[in-house]
Structure 1
């Protein structure tokens, strides 16, 4: 999305590795009982609608960017429904957990409040320090620790703090939530999604650009200022706008910095279409601090919108379209047979919870660079960006700049960088 936005504004050509636009924001369709991915919905509508890497909901963002999105495709607005799910107790606690302590019982609520009020303050060096200083040991041991152990693939005690807005701390709301209800808060309390799917937005942006498809970059010769593609083509450049992950851009350009590279995590996402189980929740997604299979989040596409279901299931809602996320240390993709065995365990666990009955589609997707992190006091990101800029390679977007941001902010960044090179 970032590259398309930059290409749209600058007028420069865009080179896309895949055969269609959108990158990891691409949608696809699979008929029940099939393994074939379809790039467009079949004429009869009898297919589950999935996305690479799970649900990509558009949250936050500059109003001007949202206006641009709406100018290309109609969107629907949704109020977030999400919970922390403690499977052992069959307990759902609305997100964010710290604002709904009453669900945990009076003893835990009182203890957690006391710890939040008296937690020692300081200069946190790690993500674990942030949780300890913000929430105290009870909530860290109950949720934040075990969830982030899964979410960061074990990095949470060693990486620098980030994404503070994902776990907002407000003592007043915590006190209110210990005795009653609180208003929704957080970066994704409301979100939008294109009525015709995210792939439609990407395609309509691409229609306004010069896009070359199937152009996977394999090497950047920073000295000769050429780009080599997997198909054997080689093109010269004066300036590159790159959305490649920062670590991969450095490697492809044969460049290096003295700092140790910051870590990242990969994510295996199982897209599942199934008979809806008797205890399938109404949530859009669940945070899972303890699972037998090791996943950390379950999302429900079809709880957001029934268009993610086969046409015949949209009225009676007897099917469910799900994505299940599990994090891995960066680049450590499991073997095919390992993924197959894992998928079977996930399906059995979801069935045991009563979320699903028979699984009609189970389709794995792998996102190699999914979440980016930083070591405490690291200068790697700043040095890497500067090194590339010295060779006229300008990184943009979530992975290009090694930051967390949503689709709307990524489009905005593409506009900003693209406008800087308009007419160049």
Structure 2
């Protein structure tokens, strides 16, 4: 008997599930790729172009800021290369202290000598001392202090996480410890000399033609129905309702929609015992223009303090010069930037607040000497950007299991409420698509 199976969302997870299974996809937007979608803008224009014009006189940006592909060795990279050519990059990243105009290579704990003798000695003592203590922690802030000590936390980890988590770091559980490596040998060596790069993204790849091309070519191998925003999931009648007024019956759904949103769409909140876990939204401000005299060479930079409270600045064009207009690519005079500022989930600024904030961000970057003249600026809003868990929460597990009882199977970074990169998102789509392949034919 034929099953009515559909995939919700044409981001990287949904596309890979569609490629492997042939199952139809419903996508809310008009283009594939989700927050990994690239787009183009001409200087002094406000119009987004979704394909690169022939003359190449455009800045390239991404909806969700820089999404670089890490952890893609082996089969995942082989799959991606079926659609696009890839360039490999060695990470260049720093922490920047604006008040001191000081850059410290990332991760900061491996480069203590940049911080001066007094801070270096205090921080090193506290890190070594922490190794001999039993670690009792429940929250992310407690985990940070238990591992890095008071000095480094007050200098960097606390103010950065205040911005990055929109103030949640004192109330949420620790997660993604691999993002903050702790290796005593490297920490001690970094007091005296350079150390090898550390962390989960020391190398990464990126499509030569852009993530938009990867998404489009994957979508060409799928049956994607665009403009199909789900507004209701009737789990009793097994029916999907769309914003355009149409509806369709289903038996099984592979959903890449954020877990909290699916629970809302299916009106299942009352069936959960646990309080919904928190998330943060992110404003991404994409900027193209002429470089300032102090424009960094880094791929991205972590900011613990800024007047406008952004926590990260990334430089698309430091990864690949194709992110700036063709006529400027060999001149090293222009830059394509993304700036990230986090908010408590769903607390989107008003249009007036947004316009003022964008102006202030640009002024701050100019004052730092990172940009000189702005030719294009375009803000985007990622409603569910980073997912977190309350201390001791079972909500995620409970919600995923509940949805499965109604034939809804969550997949991907937001679908399953955990951090992962593009390669792992594609892998999850493979698995989900493979499980249900052939069941709807």
Matched, 1:64 2:75: yes
Task: Go from structure 1 to structure 2 and tell me whether the alpha carbon gap of 1:238 and 1:62 turns closer, same or farther (over 3 Å shift).
Answer: farther
Match of 1:79 among 64, 69, 90: 90
Match of 1:23 in 2: 34
Match of 1:9 in 2: 20
Match of 1:333 among 327, 330, 348: 348
Match of 2:404 in 1: 389
- Post-superposition CA distance 1:150-204 (Å, at most 9, x none): 0000000110000101101111100000111100010110000000000111111
How far off its partner does 1:289 sit? 0.2
How far off its partner does 1:356 sit? 0.5
The answer to which of 205-214 and 395-404 deviates more is 205-214
The answer to which of 59-68 and 390-399 deviates more is 59-68
**Aligned counterparts of 2:112 and 2:371: Cα–Cα separation in 1:** 29
Match of 1:231 among 233, 244, 249: 244
Match of 1:44 among 39, 43, 55: 55
Match of 1:121 in 2: 134
How far off its partner does 1:62 sit? 5.0
Match of 2:147 among 127, 134, 142: 134
How far off its partner does 1:14 sit? 0.7
Per the alignment, in what secondary structure is the counterpart of residue 195 of structure 2?
A: coil
Per the alignment, in what secondary structure is the counterpart of residue 155 of structure 2?
A: helix
**Aligned counterparts of 1:6 and 1:154: Cα–Cα separation in 2:** 35
- Post-superposition CA distance 1:280-336 (Å, at most 9, x none): 010001000000111000000001100000011101011110000000000000001
Match of 1:241 in 2: 254
**Aligned counterparts of 1:245 and 1:408: Cα–Cα separation in 2:** 18
**Aligned counterparts of 2:222 and 2:256: Cα–Cα separation in 1:** 16
Per the alignment, in what secondary structure is the counterpart of residue 324 of structure 1?
A: strand
**Aligned counterparts of 1:345 and 1:330: Cα–Cα separation in 2:** 22
Match of 1:362 among 377, 388, 406: 377
Report 1:211-360 matches (<5 A): 211-256=224-269, 257-360=272-375
**Aligned counterparts of 1:54 and 1:95: Cα–Cα separation in 2:** 19
Match of 2:195 in 1: 182
How far off its partner does 1:412 sit? 0.1
Match of 2:100 in 1: 89
Matched, 1:415 2:430: yes
How far off its partner does 1:408 sit? 0.3
Please identify runs of 4+ aligned residues in structure 1 that moved more than 2 A. Answer: none
**Aligned counterparts of 2:135 and 2:316: Cα–Cα separation in 1:** 40
Q: Any conservation in 2 of the 1:62–1:409 contact (CA below 8 Å)?
A: no
**Aligned counterparts of 2:134 and 2:372: Cα–Cα separation in 1:** 48
Per the alignment, in what secondary structure is the counterpart of residue 168 of structure 2?
A: coil
**Aligned counterparts of 1:184 and 1:63: Cα–Cα separation in 2:** 21
Per the alignment, in what secondary structure is the counterpart of residue 383 of structure 1?
A: helix
TM score, norm. by length of structure 2: 0.95
**Aligned counterparts of 2:351 and 2:329: Cα–Cα separation in 1:** 33
**Aligned counterparts of 1:391 and 1:334: Cα–Cα separation in 2:** 36
Runs of 5+ consecutive residues of structure 1 not aligned to the other structure: none
Per the alignment, in what secondary structure is the counterpart of residue 72 of structure 1?
A: coil
TM score, norm. by length of structure 1: 0.99
Match of 1:374 in 2: 389
Q: Any conservation in 2 of the 1:284–1:299 contact (CA below 8 Å)?
A: yes
**Aligned counterparts of 1:313 and 1:62: Cα–Cα separation in 2:** 33
**Aligned counterparts of 1:205 and 1:48: Cα–Cα separation in 2:** 23
Match of 2:177 in 1: 164
Q: Any conservation in 2 of the 1:279–1:353 contact (CA below 8 Å)?
A: yes
Q: Any conservation in 2 of the 1:62–1:412 contact (CA below 8 Å)?
A: no
Per the alignment, in what secondary structure is the counterpart of residue 57 of structure 1?
A: coil
User: How many residues were matched structurally?
Assistant: 424
Per the alignment, in what secondary structure is the counterpart of residue 272 of structure 1?
A: strand
Match of 1:153 in 2: 166
Runs of 5+ consecutive residues of structure 2 not aligned to the other structure: 1-11
RMSD (Å), alpha carbons: 0.7
